[in-house]
Structure 1
Amino acid sequence: MIVMREVNLRSVDLNLLVVLQQLLETRHVTRASERLNMSQPAVSRALQRLRDTFDDPLLVRTAQGYDLSARGADILPRLQKLISGMEQLIAEPQFNPAEAEDVVRVYGLDLEVACFVSPLMKVLRSQAPKMRLEVRTEPRNHFELLEKGEVQFSLTGMEPQAGEGQYRRLLIAQSGVVCMMAADHPLASEELTLDNYLSASHGLVSMTGQGPGHVDERLAQLGRKRHLALRLSNFMTAADFCETSDLLFYLPQIVAQRIALGRNIILKPVPDELRSAPINFYLYWHERHHRDPMCRWIRQRILQVI
């Protein structure tokens, strides 16, 4: 039975393994030095250190030149496999969409997903047919899902309240705000002023189901308040309630235009006092996925399709 002696790797110069591979493959100090772009004396010194490390000559002189010792012959195939594995470990991984079977997990509210993610499916089907897209739209904290690694991407116009340095983001769209109402609403033919806007009842789409909306915070600054008759957790149903009631909805224009299609609904400019800077929609991802080849490819495709 052969017993292996214990080795302290910290005492071994692992750079010598590259030299050893060339020495064992060429069985010649000069040719090894040429392959390594090193001087012959430097390779000779490295060979001596390797002999000390392995406690074996590794290369032995014969009538035809140098040959491998029994230990050298045993080491060579394992060393070649080891060096190849180390090169693959260090090399940047390559992503081949045509063969990839990855799962892309995205979170966003229903209309954000419809506007910005649904076009991605066509790209995946044509360029990465073995990949799968999983979309989550239930009311959740966008950034909590990223932090826990439950999704790779999150679509939102919101910004993280904590841990901002953990996230990367890409601006994918900007949108103004509009007021959405039924086409037969009493205010449909009027210019919206702050007073007649506040005389109506309102619906609010809230992802978390908690807290006031952006427009309510703005009204509070003005010392005003609106009557909130309905709170929803997704955009898709807003059109149903809007079309069949007297409720007004203050929405991003890009979202309102999407849900108003084919409906008895109109969009009107909001009162001057409630106009805001454009709403930015971002694609967020966690730092852990920033250099992942698949995630980089997905980000590039999203930019293309939107």
Structure 2
Amino acid sequence: MRDAHALRGKLDLLVAADVILDCQNLTLAGERLGLSQPAVSRALGRLRAAFDDPLLVRVGNRMRLTPRAEALRAPLAAMLRAAEDLYAPSGFDPATARHVFRAVIPDVVAAVILPDLLARLAKTAPACRLELLPWRPQAEQPGDLDLVITTEIDAFPDYRMKPLYQDHDILAFAGAAPRGDPLALEHVAVIAAGATRDPVDRWLAEQGRSRRIAAVVPHYLLALQLVARGGHVAVLPSRMVAALGAPLGVRGVELAIPQDPDQQWLMHPPQLEADAASAWLREQVEAVAR
């Protein structure tokens, strides 16, 4: 096991060695190191003892390096450059990076932001790739996950979070605008993997109301497609209907039922707070969500 205290002292001495061997003059070395000449002389004495070699000797009116000192210069300089690199800030150049980003984004959000996000990545980070993983809570997610977008913040208790955008539900339909009680129409409900109930029905139950459910599907996109075929309606997020509904002939109408907005959160593992690549991806997601 390394002795951290002893190693720190040796590294300080090696910095002095690099300067002394480069200057070959104790006065100049002291100026570069910010040390007095006696202090530099003491450092040289310690180096001579450590390497069992004079290192720097006077020849006439000049100081000369010994063969051992000459042999030390290159590896010493390389070692100190490597040490400096440890402190260099980690950067991320999207134009040249080859990186695989991994994220959990539900289909209802991906449908809204993914086309613009992928277009942005293709333009600014052409060698990077985005992989979307299935929804699972934090304990079941892999360790190299970059971000999560969700309304269910309790499923990721240790993740850092910030609000991404708010949305609300509307009644999605195709063809003529529905008449009468919208809850009496034939609805397509969405119960995602791991859930036991469509959040819409939980919201309605809190108000003592219910709707007629004709079909249950696991994805919002499938619900939208069934609505587009006609004969069914669905309560879907407004941004999804606005983004995807028109080409399918699906429109939306506001529900005259009080509701709180749905808050989508952008979340990431705390260990990636300062990671340049992950932070860059989060910036892109925020930009397209706006």
Deviations 1:105-130 (A, max 9, x none): 23322342232232122222222222
Give the equivalent residue in structure 1 for 2:116: 119
Consecutive unaligned residues of structure 1, counting only runs of 5 or more, are 1-6, 191-195
Q: Secondary structure at the match of 2:91?
A: coil
Aligned amino acid, residue 155 of structure 2: Q
8 Å CA contact 2:175, 2:230 repeated in 1: no
Per mean C-alpha deviation after superposition, the further-off stretch among 127-136 and 84-93 is: 127-136
Supply the RMSD in Å over aligned alpha carbons: 2.5
8 Å CA contact 2:111, 2:240 repeated in 1: no
Give the equivalent residue in structure 1 for 2:136: 141
Q: How many angstroms apart in 2 are the aligned matches of 1:118 and 1:224?
A: 36
Aligned amino acid, residue 256 of structure 2: P
User: TM-score with structure 1 length normalisation?
Assistant: 0.82
Per mean C-alpha deviation after superposition, the further-off stretch among 282-291 and 216-225 is: 216-225
Deviations 1:237-267 (A, max 9, x none): 2122123354332222111222321234331
8 Å CA contact 1:108, 1:142 repeated in 2: no
Give the equivalent residue in structure 2 for 1:280: 263
Q: Secondary structure at the match of 2:153?
A: coil
Deviations 1:101-159 (A, max 9, x none): 112223322342232232122222222222223334x4x226456x4235312222331
Q: How many angstroms apart in 1 are the aligned matches of 2:213 and 2:138?
A: 27
Give the equivalent residue in structure 2 for 1:4: none
Taking a change above 3 Å as real, the CA distance of residues 117 and 29 of structure 1, as seen in their structure-2 partners, is farther
Q: How many angstroms apart in 1 are the aligned matches of 2:166 and 2:211?
A: 26
- 2:153 pairs, out of 147, 156, 159, with 159
Report the Cα offset of residue 21 of structure 1. 0.8
Give the equivalent residue in structure 1 for 2:127: 130
Identity across matched positions, percent? 27
Q: Does 1:180 align with 2:172?
A: yes
Q: How many angstroms apart in 2 are the aligned matches of 1:117 and 1:144?
A: 25
8 Å CA contact 1:203, 1:232 repeated in 2: yes
Q: Does 1:214 align with 2:199?
A: yes
8 Å CA contact 1:142, 1:154 repeated in 2: no
Report the Cα offset of residue 77 of structure 1. 0.8
Aligned amino acid, residue 141 of structure 1: R
Report the Cα offset of residue 205 of structure 1. 2.0
Q: Does 1:73 align with 2:56?
A: no
Q: How many angstroms apart in 1 are the aligned matches of 2:170 and 2:266?
A: 23
Give the equivalent residue in structure 2 for 1:11: 6
**Runs ≥4 residues deviating over 6 A:** none
Aligned amino acid, residue 114 of structure 2: V
Aligned amino acid, residue 284 of structure 1: M
- 2:179 pairs, out of 189, 194, 198, with 189
